[in-house]
Structure 1
């Protein structure tokens, strides 16, 4: 009985801790209940079609929860405030059995990896070995790389895999003297790397998706990835997230100093275009189809900003200035008052002017530079405009 007080203190402490932990689950359930009530408001007119009603309710509910994800929804006795996302992270993980969700198994196509490593070889023995390995996979419990090696040995016993996989990408690891076992070892390493990369990409996408307590794990002894998303019922959204393909491109771009004269002529084209749209009487002037050449003394010419400054000093009327340089009203040349800034960026524009810039660029592409250049933009809120080379010989 001498420890009765300590036992009571421990019991009370454990009770308070449990209440604290359970309070997040209780709060999350209340927020979801409010989201459901919000989603069910104003949809009586769709009562004739229950399928549409359910779909609209799900979308409105998800919209409500997404909109408050970063807002404070729980004030713990004035001690600390928690956002809805923080509440979700601290609630009890009920799992798929108790709250439902989605269970997805993804498989990396080892066949596509092998074809990619061979630079999509058209060798008949290689392609017959791939087809035979696919057939063997239905009956044998082995990894695809092993099956491919066995199939290649069956189809072409005297052939060498090095002749197929001695590509530019693998030249440091595979040469013409490499044995089939050495080539298969390299293929197995590359396949393992592809599976790991796919796992990391899926894990990152799930984290950005905002699912609370997801389970992403690789199934041992294979090239499959198990994804469990508790509480998620948006099949289309998850499918789009997991099946999306990343694409990385490299383009050769003109230097800003090379296109200086292009910008000067582009402003004249835009000025003619705007003048033609203001009146239906006058016809727009014929624009030379050949792109203007850049003179050698381009760098010695005053910068565009200097020309704008001189025009502004000569006439303080903003309307006249903008009518003289309409293109540069929305696209600020990438230059200082002293010189042109080298690099691939030719100008900057605010995001609010994106539509106008796109319209002007479309006019320029149609009238002058369509065969030589294309334009790309980057960085939100302040777009950086670059000119890419469509023909590397230009």
Structure 2
């Protein structure tokens, strides 16, 4: 019997353990932290051996295959030892894809991937396909393959998950954009991170499709130097394309083999140029999979977005409070500030991942009247924006930050939580950070 060791007992780890058990592996789950009770109950129910708060090497190094959680860096000694022994170390995406014949749509990018994944799922499901959504979002992909395998999957995939693939090949791959993010995991080399994102197309053939932002110079330059085998379907806001999506007279045009869908951008439920691009990517997939044009249009008109992503919370005294906790990097915050139409009080900060804030200067100068720092160490933010904004204050809790914003805000202002950083210093994750923001706003 082959031995599967799962490192990390979160959603992807426990899902992989369930699938491994079903496929006849001897399974062992090991987590260096504590395992949540809900996941423990599942492991006990499936009679899967597990341990927490340690990694017992004698039970790990004898594995035939290891699935590691995306949170564990490749450089840690345990992973190095496994590599030295020639043990295959893979991600959940790779493991699960070996046990399904489904057509897979894989979506990656520094920003926009959650919205694009949910929007694509929304259109295809309403178009009549039996489709599940997984990866970096919702239920574990592996668990779904084990329990309710469907003919189609749309998967949101992070660079960390792509680092652990060997044969995974989505029929349709989407790359939304590439901006510097997570460089702490890539030896602070942007080119390593770019190569990681492009692994989504690594195993594609001429029968597959690669949808990408043709306005993103990082992507187009890399493609010129490292061509992919799949059929290219670019999308662009600035120029016409022969096959793919483009903007003309405020209309989105989706064109595949002379088959065309046209939709006015004014009808999109989600506002902002970045959402025009997300809609283009999702609609291109729908057009490829022969979803009816009316269905595509209706779905783009009625999809209202993702929690914690430019989410309007409440209007109080004519001040709009906006939760963009999912903005965990500078580029995501750029989109948020760019979408602000009036004077903004900006709540920012957390765990800095090697951020370069300079691209935000023009937007901050134009739109931000006060900055509220919310992090354990805010020195980098204060140094970056000290000359742009007179009013910068530091806070240590969400409640304090929101109360301060309430005092500063005047009629027609926005209060925007868009941290540009990870959340792990004061919060469990960006969802908890966003929920605390919403609670604090509702208590005003």
Flag whether TM exceeds 0.5 (same fold): no
The structure having more radius of gyration, on CA atoms, is 1
TM-score by length of 1: 0.23
TM-score by length of 2: 0.21
